[in-house]
Structure 1
């Protein structure tokens, strides 16, 4: 006899609870890993937590599909009843929005995307607006008695680790000095001045962060204390950040996900939204590790935008890609990337390799220099929402992915990514100062990726973007590889002058060989840009620079990359 809808709903929820337990266990280990400076283990835990979701979905779906008593699980007509039973089960939970997304993942793993509807899954959330807050405390307040010094001591005393502070007194003094610089005079002497911090510490890579805000009367400022573990010495406060734009960069879409305990995810996200009102809910859920929920929030924002605007899809500005075709909605800060059916002859890769490399980026430490992506299947858009030129190009270059169904255009597979200004376009209109800063950050981006064991491969300007904060970010992943897999070589000296004049190299070239001496001409058509970049980052043109980084990575060193300006 088949399971009842309630039993099937419970089985799905049991799978969700198993995932949540695993997620919490990995996250809870972040404190120990930080205290013991287990940097390699931190990277492994980050990847494991990302992989955990799909692993648990696959296990739950397989159990449902192969259980003889659940033989009707593949009958889409039973799912509206399963959904209603599931709503009752999750109604009193504090993570019900995540539970809805989990339900969607189970449904789509068992059924075709054209069977998706609000009756079979949660296209729109059923969470009631204005829901009363839980009684689980999210933050803790530290109130001033008129002395900033005493206030700062309260904060640090509450956040002791098993590893001692390197210089507690110096850290307190630095924080007070930074508060004096960042706050108006009247706020500094306010006896009611309050530092409100999220009770859970945010961990990522080699850092830990105390995150909250400073409150005085009717004003607030972000308050973020990055903590670092100095190997063989102890823990110290690296700086204090009270600038919203700098905090926004810390929570950027180019960063790895934080490890932070969130008993009530929606309340943590709502608090972060108050600190960073310019951030989308999708980005904030993703930043704290719930990237599937971020995907749900993104999709709902997209369909809402389409329903409330007249925007039409158009090809994204910039040089057309040799592997990917990219289109966008003018009023929606996102690009949609699809794989072309045929690649340029110079691209010696296939579709499966491209997909694998995009998924590699999802799992890897992005050090603030790789744009996060969301992978989607079977988007359906009204034909009228495409500019004719855009639709014609997509149908021409990706006919196997973009399907004309009459009034509807089906996009079988794509990635979404935050829209940025391509670096080559940015430099065309940049001032001298902007050009210098962009070229400086372009080189830093390449070096920071290399420090994280990533070699971009195709480092042309068109494959990097400039964010709204002026940071240079890499976003074209079809030639990306681990730095340690690349064979960096010096160009051998020619034996005869004729060899240098030949159209073909006089030396053998292996499939993984890279000659940094060739970079200047390859990367810069503009001689002024080439000279300026060489002056700033000329070491990138030396094979020994790259080999030195490889040696450090192979020795197990995890290099420092800071997501903020250090004072």
Structure 2
């Protein structure tokens, strides 16, 4: 193996080390930001951490091409040797799976995607599926000795902050009450009932989370304690979560990424996977900020699914979009979204604007109401994996993106997103209770997006989906904008009756003008849904509601949006 391969591999790894230091520095600052209630700084740090990956990849790739090894790194034939040298360098690392993904990113930044193979990069991981545990402690244990009070007190006493607990005695009582309601009687009396808690605290937005599990002789439950910091009062436990589905929502693909310190990422992921086994590895890596690793895990799951099934791509159910075309694999819980070559006349945007809107969502606080996406270039699939009608439509609406190459179909650019049931389709088959709950959550989704300074723009039911947990989530981003950029207006009174009957408005309308009074008819063709929604969220039809939110945001307030049901006793 040429010595230069070793040196190039070392330079790639040095770039990874720089990125990891930056990632750790931003992550380790989360505790101080939470303690000091620096809520706006939290959002800024989250964006910086997301942006850091691509910035450091570019810096590393530029350093390679500008070095004496420039000609070699641009020669794809040299990369099998570089890959082999790199494997030896990362074998003893605790973040070796992340290091492989970093190598892939460097290769892809320097070469065409049709040169990707397992010889030049890590399409499949070389890391062992199971490995001996490290000697770095991930969790700490607490034994109840038959007293839930003592167990709760032990846990809270072990986690110290530079801000005092607001009222630990009250929090202990609340934890005990919630456990008594949530656990079977025999578990509460089990003297060996153990709490195993991750030593690091999970920070996100205005919250912090103690994450672990309760273990009895016969069963285990997730055990999550969300913490809040009320300025000038202290830190308190907001509720207790022992339900797997609620923990899954906290780690949802619709949330911003946690900041949590972890020396061995795979061990932390493995522990959380035991709490919520229904979550894919891709989602869990993404949830703790390693979104590129999530992308790698997603791609590997996709190619494994294609290799082990006869699934064919079909157009996704729902109303066809005016900007995006969406297709899916029935047996794979994901949709693939591509930008059409031509938009409907009513869409006054271009391709570059759509791309920036989707990237904005990646960087912004999604507050549990916008689906995360992964952006891919140059997907290649066998032609026979496409339903003929699906392929015909894709080639018709996006010929610059969907390319026929013999027996293969090249998708030059797309986003992947979790598949959901479009809200309009969900309501067509929903019971009265389901309809009530979905409309209630639809309004909450709009309000929580607004609290995060996001105005969806096109709020039609077809642009929202219902998750497997029954939550309503926005997923069509081509018209989103910051709430503070929108001019909410009241429709002026007509000067005479003929104005009101005219086909054109009698008042001027600027590009950013929005008239909430028009929402009821615009959003709901079904008069029953319109009336029901108005009873729940009629304030959304008033310009004053939106303006008051704008004023709070412009004053620097970060509005609380909780990803869980709060305890009844919470102040």
Q: Could you state the TM-score of these two structures normalised by the residue count of structure 2?
A: 0.99
Structure 2 gap segments, 5+ residues each: none
Q: Which residue of 2 aligns with 1:501?
A: 501
Structure 1 segment 155-234 matched on structure 2, within 5 A: 155-234=155-234
CA contact (8 A) 1:3 1:69 kept: no
Q: Which residue of 2 aligns with 1:522?
A: 522
Matched position secondary structure for 1:68: coil
CA-to-partner distance for each residue in 1:223-281, whole Å, 9 max, x for gaps? 00000001221111000000001000000000000000111000000111100010000
Aligned mates of 1:423, 1:69 — CA distance in 2: 54
Q: Which residue of 1 aligns with 2:436?
A: 436
Q: CA deviation at 1:172?
A: 0.4
CA contact (8 A) 2:139 2:196 kept: yes
CA contact (8 A) 1:3 1:70 kept: no
Matched position secondary structure for 2:558: coil
CA contact (8 A) 2:255 2:369 kept: yes
CA contact (8 A) 2:378 2:410 kept: yes
Q: Which residue of 2 aligns with 1:82?
A: 82
Q: Which residue of 1 aligns with 2:448?
A: 448
Q: CA deviation at 1:517?
A: 0.4
CA contact (8 A) 2:101 2:122 kept: yes
Aligned mates of 1:41, 1:73 — CA distance in 2: 39
Q: Which residue of 1 aligns with 2:149?
A: 149
Q: Which residue of 2 aligns with 1:395?
A: 395
CA-to-partner distance for each residue in 1:188-213, whole Å, 9 max, x for gaps? 12121100000100000000000000
Aligned mates of 1:232, 1:481 — CA distance in 2: 34
Q: CA deviation at 1:546?
A: 0.3
Q: Which residue of 1 aligns with 2:105?
A: 105
Q: CA deviation at 1:68?
A: 2.9
Structure 1 segment 250-399 matched on structure 2, within 5 A: 250-399=250-399
Q: CA deviation at 1:493?
A: 0.5
Q: CA deviation at 1:70?
A: 3.4
Q: Which segments of structure 1 move beyond 6 Å, counting only runs of 4 or more? A: none
Structure 1 segment 17-56 matched on structure 2, within 5 A: 17-56=17-56
Whether 1:466 and 2:466 are equivalent positions in the alignment is: yes
When the two structures are aligned, how many residues end up with a matched partner?
566
Aligned mates of 2:473, 2:123 — CA distance in 1: 32
Q: CA deviation at 1:342?
A: 0.1
Whether 1:118 and 2:118 are equivalent positions in the alignment is: yes
Structure 1 segment 485-564 matched on structure 2, within 5 A: 485-564=485-564
Q: Pairwise CA RMSD of aligned residues?
A: 0.7
Aligned mates of 2:34, 2:141 — CA distance in 1: 24
Q: CA deviation at 1:71?
A: 2.5
CA contact (8 A) 2:227 2:236 kept: yes
CA-to-partner distance for each residue in 1:499-529, whole Å, 9 max, x for gaps? 0011110110001000000000000000000
Q: CA deviation at 1:450?
A: 0.1
Q: CA deviation at 1:77?
A: 0.3
CA-to-partner distance for each residue in 1:368-396, whole Å, 9 max, x for gaps? 00000000000000000000000000000
Q: CA deviation at 1:3?
A: 6.5
Aligned mates of 2:65, 2:366 — CA distance in 1: 36
Matched position secondary structure for 2:19: helix
Structure 1 gap segments, 5+ residues each: none
Q: CA deviation at 1:35?
A: 0.4
Q: Could you state the TM-score of these two structures normalised by the residue count of structure 1?
A: 0.99
Q: CA deviation at 1:218?
A: 2.9
Matched position secondary structure for 2:473: strand
CA contact (8 A) 1:464 1:474 kept: yes
